[in-house]
Chain A
């Protein structure tokens, strides 16, 4: 097992004592198979117990360790030290307010997720005795990819539009709405359209595509957004040019 001395530059910010964020460098002996999260844990355990950051699963499923690594939004538990030079800079996710050190405020993101009604809204109420809602593998395939999102917010940190317009609903929330809209058991699309077809919804997107590039779970939110645009455009033409057509 080879070991390498890494200079880990970490953004620090303590709202009680600091007027602005600063960088602090730690010299960390890293094993070759370590990820950046291991290096942070080493700092926390051996060098500086005051360092704050979020993590839980260490295997790219919980979505809590998102941060900027050398300026790119990454999961710290999926960013291998061996892919970086001897100096690595770690900062909190861009486009979000810093709460403390690498911890960002997530309230805005959570509120946006909730606003798209991310749950099944069945077409009609069915009594339990009537049995389950069945679905074929083909129907499942239509939306499965969009269920893989782990809410890591990397796509929001990568999105220049979200950086400019904080009201923008953003990639993950719209991809999540799309996930339910595409579900054969769901009938709630009209309700979600009110939110996602608004100006702050999908139309704030200018198809930069950075969200899909950084997404660690290959959700391809940019693809979902373009599909939502097409569907919303068809809706618009139907509503305005053919108001007699029932959706």
Chain B
């Protein structure tokens, strides 16, 4: 029996899962505050733009988006399987290509800021 290569995608899935588990509630909370008209000064466009313009900020944003995308892709793949869709090769290819595309786009969009 050969060892599986699944750790590549699973490693990203696990890391992304940890990050989204921490950040998603924060995003929900902030959106709620924004909806109620309570936006702290730190979250104005100028501040966030400055954050995204800094290379460290870029790195953080890239890490979060990249890992979340791969987490979502793998989660979708497993969910499809649980729903009874068994064309795993096709599904896996589709979701991972989408995640890769998103990763590349994130990279270039961040570079442009």
Contact = CB atoms under 8 A, between A and B. Distances in A.
Given A230-B14, A236-B7, A237-B7, A198 B2 contact: yes
Nearest to B81: A206
B14 A203 contact: no
Contacts, number: 43
Contacts of B6: 199, 203
Nearest to A194: B1
- Chain A interface SS verdict (over half): helix
Contact of B11 (A198, A208, A233): A233
A138 B10 CA distance: 30
A204 B54 CA distance: 42
Interface residues of B, number: 14
Interface string B69-94: 00000000010011000000000000
A241 B60 CA distance: 23
Given A198-B2, A201-B1, A232 B7 contact: yes
A201 B1 CA distance: 9
Contacts of B7: 229, 232-233, 235-237
B78 A236 contact: no
Nearest to B11: A233
A229 B7 CA distance: 8
B8 interface: yes
Contacts of A30: none
B112 interface: no
A198 B4 contact: yes
Q: Which 5 A-B pairs have the closest CB atoms?
A: A236-B7, A198-B1, A233-B7, A203-B6, A199-B4
Interface of A: 160, 193-195, 197-201, 203, 206, 208, 229-230, 232-233, 235-237
